[in-house]
Amino acid sequence: MRLALAGAGAVGASTLELAGEYGHEVVAIADSSSAAVSEEGLDPETVLDRKRETGSVGEADPEALFAADYDALVEATPTTLGDAEPGFSHVKRALEADRHVVLANKGPVAERYADVRDLEAGSDGEVLFEATVGGAIPALSTITDVGPGRVTAVRGVLNGTANFVLSRMAAEGLGYEHVLAEAQDLGVAEADPSFDVEGTDAALKCVILANVLYDREYTLADAEVAGIEGVPGSALELAAEDGRTVRLVGEVADGEVRVGPRLVPENGTLAVTGTRNIVQLDTEHAGRLNISGRGAGGHETASAVLADVGRLARR
Which residues are marked as active site?
Answer: 205
Residue from 22, 88, 176, 218 in contact with a second copy (CB under 8 A): 22
Contact 294, 135 (CB under 8 A): yes
187 is in an annotated binding site: no
Q: Is 49 among the residues that bind a second copy (CB under 8 A)?
A: no
Q: Is 270 among the residues that bind a second copy (CB under 8 A)?
A: no
Min CB(141)–a second copy separation in Å: 6
Q: Is 10 among the residues that bind a second copy (CB under 8 A)?
A: no
Q: Is 288 among the residues that bind a second copy (CB under 8 A)?
A: yes
246 is in an annotated binding site: no
Q: Is 273 among the residues that bind a second copy (CB under 8 A)?
A: no
Q: How many CB atoms lie within 10 A of CB 105?
A: 26
Min CB(314)–a second copy separation in Å: 6
- 10 Å CB burial of residue 209 (0-12, 13-18, 19+) is buried
The residue among 14 and 56 lying less far from a second copy, judged by its C-beta, is 14
Side by side, which strands form the sheet with 100-103? Answer: 35-37, 25-30, 2-6, 72-75, 100-103, 127-128
Task: Give the E-state strand segments of 198-255 in sequence order.
Answer: 223-225, 244-253
Decide the pairing of beta strands 72-75 and 2-6.
parallel
Taking CB under 8 A as the criterion, which residues in 126-155 touch a second copy?
Answer: 135-138, 141-142, 144-147, 150
- 10 Å CB burial of residue 147 (0-12, 13-18, 19+) is exposed
Residue from 18, 47, 65, 179 in contact with a second copy (CB under 8 A): 18
- Three-state SS for 263-301 is EEECCCCCCCCCCEEEEEEEECCCEEEEEEEECCCHHHH
Residue from 2, 50, 178, 299 in contact with a second copy (CB under 8 A): 299
3-state helix, strand, coil in the chain (%, to 5): 45, 25, 35
- Give the count of residues interacting with a second copy (CB under 8 A): 38
12 is in an annotated binding site: yes
The residue among 140 and 197 lying less far from a second copy, judged by its C-beta, is 140
The residue among 211 and 301 lying less far from a second copy, judged by its C-beta, is 301
Question: What is the residue-wise DSSP string for 79-109?
Answer: P-STT-TTHHHHHHHHHHTT-EEEE--SHHH
> Which residues are known binding-site members?
7-12, 106, 190
> Which residues are known binding-site members for NADP(+)?
7-12
Question: Which residues contact a second copy (rule: CB under 8 A)?
Answer: 18, 21-22, 135-138, 141-142, 144-147, 150, 267, 269, 283, 285-294, 297, 299-300, 302-304, 307, 310-311, 314-315
> Which residues are known binding-site members for NADPH?
106
> Which residues are known binding-site members for L-homoserine?
190
